[in-house]
């Protein structure tokens, strides 16, 4: 996905594209998606918005914002990272970090147009991951088997064994794409 298209998709949900991050400067997006597989004793916690909630999507937006504010997703400029399609290699299956901020009128979960679907999933069926710009907090959103929206918080992913082991395994696997091996090794060798 080209940068102009990413920007249009984000605007449809009330997010402003502030820039694209260089690959290898943060926890790889593919490592951040693993937050749902982390254990509570690794710091993982979450909120579930049930499908029978009469204000389902509004409740999901509210829960997301509370979690984001409480856990420090937003930096001093109100910016955070969001995994978006594209990047080196097979662009159809790759994601990369985009630096984004909220516009005055945002609606991440209620985006009923096709415009945001490649980034956030479809309306009512979200699939995305966000991270603080300093890399100390991951917020993963998914739909559980019963149709409820799960918001998964993972503070300090660098200290989480499930994440570091996964990144290490994938970064050293001989069949992993070279760009993934480089991204993973850069993150593993960077200062904590």
Each residue's pLDDT tens digit, 121-175: 766 688 999 999 999 999 999 999 888 999 999 999 999 999 999 999 999 999 9
**pLDDT beyond 80 at 88:** no
What was the pLDDT predicted at 126?
Answer: 87
Rg (CA), the chain: 16
Q: How far apart are CA 108 and CA 43, in angstroms?
A: 25
Task: Spell 10-38 as b/e; 16+ CB within 10 A means b.
Answer: bebbbbebbeebebeebbbbbbbbbbeeb
Whether 70 is in a domain gets the answer yes
**pLDDT beyond 70 at 78:** yes
Mean pLDDT check: name the lowest of 43-47, 144-148, 174-178, 188-192: 188-192
Whether 162 is in a domain gets the answer yes
Q: What pTM was estimated for this model as a whole? A: 0.92
Greater model confidence, 80 or 147: 80
**pLDDT beyond 50 at 95:** yes
Whether 87 is in a domain gets the answer yes
Whether 191 is in a domain gets the answer no
Whether 101 is in a domain gets the answer yes
What was the pLDDT predicted at 112?
Answer: 47
Whether 186 is in a domain gets the answer no
Whether 15 is in a domain gets the answer yes
**pLDDT beyond 80 at 93:** no
Whether 59 is in a domain gets the answer yes
Q: How confident is the model at residue 5 (pLDDT cuts 50, 70, 90)?
A: confident
Structural domain that includes position 143: 3-180
The count of domains in the chain is 1
Asked whether the beta carbons of 166 and 157 are under 8 A apart, the reply is no
User: What is the three-class DSSP state of 41?
Assistant: helix
**pLDDT beyond 90 at 34:** yes
């Amino acid at each position: 996905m080209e940068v102009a298209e990413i920007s249009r998709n984000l605007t449809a949900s009330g997010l402003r594209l502030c820039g694209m991050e260089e690959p290898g400067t943060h926890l790889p997006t593919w490592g951040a998606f693993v937050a749902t597989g982390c254990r509570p004793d690794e710091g993982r916690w979450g909120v579930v918005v049930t499908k029978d909630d009469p204000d389902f999507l509004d409740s999901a937006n509210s829960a997301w914002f509370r979690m984001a504010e409480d856990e420090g997703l937003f930096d001093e400029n109100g910016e955070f990272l969001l995994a978006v399609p594209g990047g080196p290699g097979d662009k159809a299956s790759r994601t990369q970090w985009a630096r984004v901020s909220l516009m005055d009128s945002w609606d991440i979960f209620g985006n009923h147009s096709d415009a945001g679907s490649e980034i956030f999933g479809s309306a009512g069926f979200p699939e995305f991951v966000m991270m603080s710009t300093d890399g100390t907090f991951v917020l993963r959103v998914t739909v559980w088997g019963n149709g409820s929206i799960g918001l998964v918080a993972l503070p300090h992913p660098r200290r989480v064994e499930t994440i570091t082991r996964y990144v290490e395994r994938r970064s050293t696997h001989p069949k992993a794409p070279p760009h993934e091996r480089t991204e993973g090794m850069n993150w593993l060798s960077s200062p904590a």
